[in-house]
Structure 1
Amino acid sequence: MKRFALVLLLLVMPFTAVAEDKNVLSVELMWELQRIGSPVISPNGEHIVAPVTRFDMDKERGHTQLYLFSPDGSTQRPLTAQGMRASEATFSPDGSTLAFISQRDGDDAGQIYLLPMDKPGEASRLTSVPTGVYGLKWKGDHLYFITRIWPGKDWDEMAERLKQEKASNVSAKKWTALPFSHFDHWLDENRQAHVFRIAAEGGDVEPVTQNFNRELPRSTQSSGSYDIDPSGTWIAFTSDSKSENPEPEIDLFLGRIGESTAENITEANPGPDGNPMFSPNGQTLAYTRQVIPGFYADNINIVLFDMERRTHREITADWDRSATGLVWTPDSQGFYGAIDDAATVRVYHINARNGQVRAITGETNFGGLTIANNGTLVGTNESFLHPAQLVRINPSDGSTARLDTFNDDILSSVDFGTYESVTYEGYNGQEIQMWVHYPPGFDPEKKYPLFLLIHGGPHNAISNGFHYRWNAQTFASWGYVTAWHNFHGSSGFGQEFTDSINPDWKTAPYADTIAAAEWFKNQPWIDNDRMVAGGASYGGYLSSILLGKEHPFNALLIHAAVYNMYSQMAADFAVHSVRFGNYWDNPEIYKEISPHYFAENFNTPALIIHGQLDYRVPVGQGFELFRTLQSRGVESRMIYFPDENHWILKPNNSVYWYNEVKDWVTRFAEPGAR
């Protein structure tokens, strides 16, 4: 067994001391924190803008403002007024103007606003698009955006259609094909998402992708769905090339703006292609490629398309990591990326010529990378012990300079626990990484209860970042040792490890979970009679598997669980259907791994939680499980949120969720040292 202790907040204090004037990281305190989002730096490197969100518990809403920062850390001030939502900031090519999306007085939907950065002035509205705008980019003399339209209607007709829908007493939805939903909202199959543009000086809105008679993917779209070359001549965008099929095949199309045809340049690849990014010099179109249809965690590789030669060159095929969070270097010779790498999201440099990679940062998570023409690299940095902070990153050695001061006053009074990364032997003797969190004032001479957390995905590893919904430090502050184990199937440990649980979702992760519990049993500071566990989504699935098999836990927390693999056909994601066939094609797969087949063995008290607006794992899954437990006479509690989706996002609902979880685990594993 290997242990790698991290340098933590309490090193200046005796390990067992808890300062009397300190607070713990309670859920209420977390909702006081201001949350900084992904920044954008001006091309000339003079300005940095980032969204900052604060929450009003009484009004049950968040307020997002755009803040201005400077690369030397001397500036931190709001650019937009509180109460006026603002998002998707982007600079003009010369950095003199900031564009962003806001919905202000008189706006029925989000519109583009322009704010001068080189002189005093107020933001002015550029667009009046009745269907709203998102996915904003500024290229050359034009701003590009996405909006969802009714084909064949002009803007006035669409405005009237929206007005009629708002006034209608009919709430019915109708579909004749998939998809019908995405995550937490229903899709209107009569509308299409397209890219449009408008000149920065104003004028008419011009269609771009509509001219090609090809829409963006129906389920979800963003600024990452398309890109424009520096000359404003070409657009590269993603689209479903097999729209007549039940499941999409996302390809990359390339077309001249203003013309009527776009070429599918990735037709040969059966997996999804996406994230088009033209190089700063316009000579290369980079994009990402996955090769396995139906496997969202398939390794993501970078492909370079030579705009002159029309050739493709994959540069990261030999790298056993997914290339994500990418930005081109200003010289068009490489990329910086925020890479999921063995339970930490690190900044890497990737050489565009030979694909060589170099890790730049170390132990904590980075994201939201943005780079100026002079090479100034900015992003966010977070860890288990602090939320995202704005930082300037030195690409040479990974050192950082913090550029904001948000939350310092609040967190200075918080008594955090400590944490470390350990490894243990899991399924088939393979090494499993696990994060262990210790409560404030932890005394290794005493015994503590264990709260083992089971992550979702399943292909989403827990990395060294700040979590608002399932915060291990908050759980630990109740008096528990808590842990996240990155079981088989977790991302960031190589393709073979990630794909090792398909289609058998059950065997290896269950074995890894039991092995994690055994590892804790062997620690002198764990009370083997006070152990609980739980998770959400896939973590809820695996917790449901525990219900029907041998395990050491006194009680379970099961949130948004995939309980019945057959019922999952009602979701926007049917798990194995694309890659391994539907249940009528390969019934043995589903029977072997569906938790409901093990119901006759259920005897562990369980807290079941689900949201009505969860279309990723429909709410019926939670009620099926609760009815099963009640029918078997197993102590259980069902908590239903009529206004939440797969996650609990509203402030007061979140506080309620944490308090209910605390009440449940306290009943079956009394917190605190003994």
Structure 2
Amino acid sequence: MSAFNDIRDYVAIPRVLSLRLSLDGSRLISTVQSLNPDGKSYGTALWALPLDGPLTGDPYRLTRSAKGETAAVFTDAGDVLFTSARPDPTVKDSTDEVAALWLLPRAGGEARQVAARPGGIAAVRTAADVVVFAADVLDGEEVADEEKRKAREDAGISAILHEGSPVRYWDHDLGPGRTRLFAARLGGGDRLEDVRDLTPDAGDALHDATFELTPDGATVVSTWRTILPKGEWRTDLVAIDVATGERRVLLSEDRHDFTQPIAISPDGGKVACARDRFTGLEVSARSELWIADLATGEGRAYAPDLFHADIEWAPDSSAVYIVADFQGRRPVFRVPLTGDVARLTQDDAAYLGLNASADGRFVYALRSGIGLAPAPARIDVATGEITDLPTPVPRPEVRGTLTEISATADDGATVRGWLVLPEGASAEDPAPFLLWIHGGPVASWNDWQWRWQSWIMAAHGYAVLMPDPCLSTGYGQDMIDRGWGNWGPRTQADLDAIVDVALARDDIDSERIAAMGGSYGGYMANWLAGHTDRYKAIVTHASLWSLDQFAGTTDASMYWQREFGVPGSERYELLSPHLSLDKITTPMLVIHGDKDYRVPIGEALRLWWDLRRSEVESKFLYFPDENHWIQKPGNIVAWYETVLAFLAQHVLGQEWKRPDSVA
């Protein structure tokens, strides 16, 4: 038995979420998520990993509170700044409900609150003696923010008047407050000094902003949303003078976004970010590493065809390290300002959270993979040697076999994927088969998934195929172009090809098969339901059903309508799964959260009603308090237990048994 056999054991596994290296290279800090004592929610805490000497010391816990801690950064002096909604012990009857900024001294002792805002504090960056943080502020003078919030509450007003879009984002309503950036100085007292609003005129420009500070603390580089006609917007990069608040546009280009991740070179002369082109009916998604001069804005693209997810500068400012999807992995690459791109890590792992040591010898990162939970690792820059470091929490042990397979699609393209086989699968005892389709659609199966956990399914006897069909990253621009504007037919052809290869194995039962997916994977699950009867059951989570309806109600309508066209365009008729309702005979399990604003609940409600009126055998697992992901421990248990019971009925031929978690 392992933690993957009982879902209650699985949800209790602690998780390493992040990694941050101190400026002097003496220690790493990780945010660790674990089950709260009530078993109904997750909390976070900061852990330290000493790096003194040739061998690292044992990790130890730095913080402990019911509210948890996150967003940790090191000051130049080695203190730790973090955000938390914990109550301030120096204030009588403090019952903070929003996150404030706290400082934990390097020398030890209790953390102290150094800044608070009525709307809470989100991200924070620091350099020299400067601190810049993001906070939610109501329109008008920020000094009156608290009074205005109290007046709304006392009057019972929850209404938000919008004059632009979007109005929602992922799982929360936007407004009435808006994000602004504040600058302050670290002093010797208990509070930050000289706190100033850097962006009083920001409006909606800093929604979901990412920002960084130059090493001297003189300049903030931030994303900045520029509103365009007809509900469109563009993301530029701006530079803000910390002393004066003067703002200048650093990077801006028609039909392009300059966005996260952002990194500023140690010498303060250059900025690296992502440059994403606007998509269109015939223009596919493309993201490039862009490096520009911080003074002039002149720059260019580097590392073509690598969809990067992280950036870290080498300490001598001669190169950047990035992680990027590549053939079902996510290696670390070294990208010099002059010269060729080189792959630094050669293993099958996925890396994230890059931190370069000041002496240039090492890069620290979280190392993970399909069968490997994230934990800290050290990469030798000269040799590429990888050393796993002591981890704040042990990695869970997986049982089964991870195999790589590939197929040739009907157009000659290679489609590859990961196949997880349960223990004991053989020609004498072939395993039932589960196709698991990734979301995105511009994404890849290449990393550990706390949410979409194939090893749970393997522990219950299923062989799980996780393919990367068209639109997947890590295979060059052509792989994305193949599926652009042709979601259903082209992706199904790719999936059919690699499923055929998997089912030809003698350790897989080609008769007992099912398909499932979430988000775009849910779209494809719906598409398959109306275009093939090869599967015994289909599970569709947070899925797109009526494309015209989806494209007008999602939180980012402008993005999807670039690819599909304006409502009523031909592409909706070609690609919407709901138009094949009359062909569906496969039993379906529909799953959706009411707080999902990326794929609104209306998609599931309409799908469910369409299945009901068509008398398709089906069930609907509904989560009133979840979003695009299922995040609460109890709901995760209910999700997996219901999915397993549904598959047991239709794939394994067992009698339906309603799980206790949803009884």
- Shorter-chain TM-score above 0.5: yes
| Greater mean deviation of Cα atoms: 645-654 or 567-576 | 567-576
Q: Deviations over 1:15-57 (max 9, x none)?
A: xxxxxx6664542222121111211111110121111111137
Check whether the contact 2:100–2:116 (CA below 8 A) recurs between aligned residues: yes
Superposition pairs of residues 460-471 of structure 1, within 5 angstroms: 460-463=443-446, 465-471=447-453
Summarize the Cα distance change of 1:196–1:297 in structure 2 as closer, same or farther, 3 Å threshold.
Answer: farther
Superposition pairs of residues 341-360 of structure 1, within 5 angstroms: 341-354=326-339, 356-360=341-345
Partner of 2:561: 577
Partner of 2:320: 335
Partner of 1:91: 74
Q: CA deviation at 1:216?
A: 6.2
Q: Give the distance between the partners of 1:161 and 1:59, measured in 2 at CA.
A: 37
Q: Give the distance between the partners of 2:485 and 2:392, measured in 1 at CA.
A: 44
Partner of 1:4: none
Match of 2:242 among 257, 262, 277: 257
Q: CA deviation at 1:204?
A: 3.3
Q: TM-score, with normalisation over the residues of structure 2?
A: 0.91
Match of 1:60 among 32, 40, 43: 40
For the residue of structure 1 that corresponds to 2:606, the secondary structure is helix
| Alignment-mate amino acid for residue 469 of structure 2 | F
1:120 paired with 2:108, answer yes
Q: Deviations over 1:289-344 (max 9, x none)?
A: 12234699833223232245x25232415x22123300111111111112111111
1:454 paired with 2:454, answer no
1:191 paired with 2:177, answer yes
Partner of 1:11: none
For the residue of structure 2 that corresponds to 1:524, the secondary structure is coil
Q: Give the distance between the partners of 1:261 and 1:371, measured in 2 at CA.
A: 31
Match of 2:100 among 91, 107, 111: 111
Check whether the contact 2:439–2:519 (CA below 8 A) recurs between aligned residues: yes
Check whether the contact 1:25–1:473 (CA below 8 A) recurs between aligned residues: no
Partner of 1:15: none
Q: Give the distance between the partners of 2:104 and 2:245, measured in 1 at CA.
A: 34
Partner of 1:303: 290
Summarize the Cα distance change of 1:79–1:548 in structure 2 as closer, same or farther, 3 Å threshold.
Answer: same
Check whether the contact 1:57–1:651 (CA below 8 A) recurs between aligned residues: no
Partner of 1:423: 406
Check whether the contact 2:415–2:468 (CA below 8 A) recurs between aligned residues: yes
Check whether the contact 1:179–1:218 (CA below 8 A) recurs between aligned residues: no
Unpaired runs of 5+ in structure 2? 88-93, 655-663
Q: Give the distance between the partners of 1:531 and 1:231, measured in 2 at CA.
A: 59
| Alignment-mate amino acid for residue 662 of structure 1 | L
Superposition pairs of residues 590-669 of structure 1, within 5 angstroms: 590-669=572-651
1:39 paired with 2:19, answer yes
For the residue of structure 2 that corresponds to 1:391, the secondary structure is strand
Partner of 1:5: none
Q: CA deviation at 1:428?
A: 1.2
Check whether the contact 1:39–1:50 (CA below 8 A) recurs between aligned residues: yes
Q: Deviations over 1:607-647 (max 9, x none)?
A: 00111000000111111111111111110001110000011
Q: Deviations over 1:97-143 (max 9, x none)?
A: 111112221234211111111x2322111112222111110111111
Q: Give the distance between the partners of 1:468 and 1:268, measured in 2 at CA.
A: 37
For the residue of structure 1 that corresponds to 2:599, the secondary structure is coil
Q: TM-score, with normalisation over the residues of structure 1?
A: 0.90
Superposition pairs of residues 380-419 of structure 1, within 5 angstroms: 380-408=366-394, 411=396, 414=397, 416-419=399-402
For the residue of structure 1 that corresponds to 2:354, the secondary structure is strand
Superposition pairs of residues 276-315 of structure 1, within 5 angstroms: 276-293=262-279, 298-308=285-295, 310=296, 312-315=298-301
Question: Structure 1 runs of 4+ off > 6 angstroms?
Answer: 294-297
Summarize the Cα distance change of 1:624–1:446 in structure 2 as closer, same or farther, 3 Å threshold.
Answer: same
Q: Give the distance between the partners of 1:52 and 1:208, measured in 2 at CA.
A: 32
Superposition pairs of residues 198-277 of structure 1, within 5 angstroms: 198-201=184-187, 202-210=192-200, 213-215=201-203, 217=205, 219-221=207-209, 225-243=210-228, 245-259=230-244, 261-275=246-260, 276-277=262-263
Partner of 2:420: 437
Higher relative contact order, structure no. (Cα contacts within 8 Å, ≥ 6 residues apart): 1
Q: CA deviation at 1:671?
A: 8.3
For the residue of structure 2 that corresponds to 1:634, the secondary structure is coil
Aligned-residue identity in percent: 24
Superposed CA RMSD in Å reads 2.3
Summarize the Cα distance change of 1:522–1:120 in structure 2 as closer, same or farther, 3 Å threshold.
Answer: closer
| Alignment-mate amino acid for residue 609 of structure 1 | I
For the residue of structure 2 that corresponds to 1:625, the secondary structure is helix
Q: Give the distance between the partners of 1:154 and 1:555, measured in 2 at CA.
A: 55
Aligned residue-pair number: 635
Q: CA deviation at 1:240?
A: 1.8
Check whether the contact 1:303–1:312 (CA below 8 A) recurs between aligned residues: no
Unpaired runs of 5+ in structure 1? 1-20
| Alignment-mate amino acid for residue 422 of structure 2 | P
| Alignment-mate amino acid for residue 38 of structure 2 | D
Match of 2:132 among 135, 140, 144: 144
For the residue of structure 1 that corresponds to 2:38, the secondary structure is coil
Match of 2:356 among 368, 371, 394: 371
Q: Give the distance between the partners of 2:294 and 2:560, measured in 1 at CA.
A: 37
